[in-house]
Amino acid sequence: MEETNLCPRLQKGMDLIGKRWTGLIIYQLLSGPQRFCTVQSALPISGRLLSERFKDLESEGIVTRTVYPEIPVRIEYALTEKGLAWEPVVREIERWSTDWIDPSELD
């Protein structure tokens, strides 16, 4: 990888949010804790990729995974304090998109 003069923290943050589906997963979880199937049904993403992203986000301390000892087992994903700190960024991207993305130019 080519070395840049960017701030390493900014680069790490951009790498995190820029990873495919990560921003949309965070956006989805802003409404509160959700089960895997709820997030998967809200996004056009495979279960394997969603599971991989959840593991990445959990290892970064952005998402927590809570297992409830019920039958059947219930697992919920929620944003941590670190994850919730992304809200103003995600909301600003949402606002910018509303202002500047022409709906007729979408797929």
Query: Which are the contacts of 106, defined by CB distance < 8 A and separation ≥ 6?
Result: none
List, for residues 50-59, the tens digit of each pLDDT value.
999 999 999 9
Where do the domains of the chain lie?
34-98
CB 76 within 8 A of CB 34: yes
Residue 43 has pLDDT above 70, yes or no: yes
Inter-residue contact 87 to 104 (CB < 8 Å): no
pTM above 0.85, yes or no: yes
Distance between CA atoms of residues 19 and 97, nearest Å: 18
| Count of CB atoms situated within 10 Å of the CB of 90 | 15
Q: At what angle do helices 8-18 and 22-29 cross, to 10 degrees?
A: 80
d(CA 85, CA 17): 12
The CA distance from 28 to 53, in Å, is 13
Cβ–Cβ < 8 Å for 17, 89:
yes
Q: Which fold has domain 34-98?
A: Arc Repressor Mutant, subunit A (1.10.10)
Q: What percent of the chain has pLDDT over 90?
A: 74
- Average pLDDT on 89-99 reads 94
